[in-house]
Amino acid sequence: MDNCIFCKIIQKQAFADIVYEDPNLIAIIPLEQASKGHTLLITKEHIENLFDIDEETLQIVAVGVKKLTKKLVYENKPTGINLLHASGKDAQQSVFHFHIHLVPRYKNDGLDLWIRNKL
């Protein structure tokens, strides 16, 4: 995809702080971090969202999340972690290339990423 920033990062046509890479996945530090160690895990194949990802690739992503979580815990010593994902414009997806946010959490970090029922 010519205009996809993640594709440009994967092809090394745009700079990013890459913290993990394998044949199927790449992990980068986002420009705006919610917490110390906040990382994006991105499929190397351009897949728009959860609706389009095949099961095999989703399994690869799940294993990648586990590996990256271990790395984040080792390096940053968080006491918890949030996994965040948005699929589709109405879910606030901002980059239309499949990715998962791994947000390390720390005691008294002041973040509130949990959903509140507003109905």
Let me know if 46 is a catalytic residue: no
What are the contacts of 78-86 at 24+ separation with CB within 8 A? 78/35, 78/36, 78/37, 78/104, 78/105, 78/106, 79/105, 79/106, 79/107, 80/104, 80/105, 80/106, 81/105, 82/113, 84/113, 85/50
Q: Which residues carry out catalysis?
A: 99
